[in-house]
Amino acid sequence: METELLGDHSKYIEEKSEDLTTRYNRFGKDLYREIQKELPEVFKKLKYYREKDGLRTFPDDSYAIFEDGKTEFRIILDPDCEIICLGNFETNIEIGNWNNDYYKEAIEFIKKEFLKIE
């Protein structure tokens, strides 16, 4: 199941992109728009989730999974800590507001680490 990338400490339900846009308006909110602009093929395959319940529930966070049959990774936007988490089963990075251009850094990480585009 694709939500395995998010971990097994919570249960997640899929969320429509329109609902996500309405619900999530905090740190990192424009990352998905930047992905749509810079990596449209990735954007088309993103599935969005929100936490339903779990040991430690973070209902304000945004979750997305990319899977295309050969590559998979997760995106977590944490508005309280103000970080963008990108990862899969092999690598992980946290990008925060300490970086002047955290959207650019996130896009570059996706390209280099997940899509293997130099």
In sign, the C-alpha dihedral spanning 36, 115, 99, 29 is positive
pTM of the predicted protein model: 0.88
Let me know: does 28 contact 79? Beta carbons within 8 Å: yes
pLDDT in tens, the chain (118 residues): 456 777 666 778 889 988 888 888 888 888 999 999 999 999 999 999 988 765 566 667 889 999 998 999 999 999 888 999 999 999 999 999 887 899 999 999 999 999 988 7
What was the pLDDT predicted at 104?
A: 95
User: Residues with Cβ < 8 Å from 61, sequence gap 6 or more?
Assistant: 50, 51, 76, 77, 78, 79
End-to-end CA distance of the chain: 30
What was the pLDDT predicted at 80?
A: 84
Torsions phi, psi for 115 (to 5 deg):
-90, -10
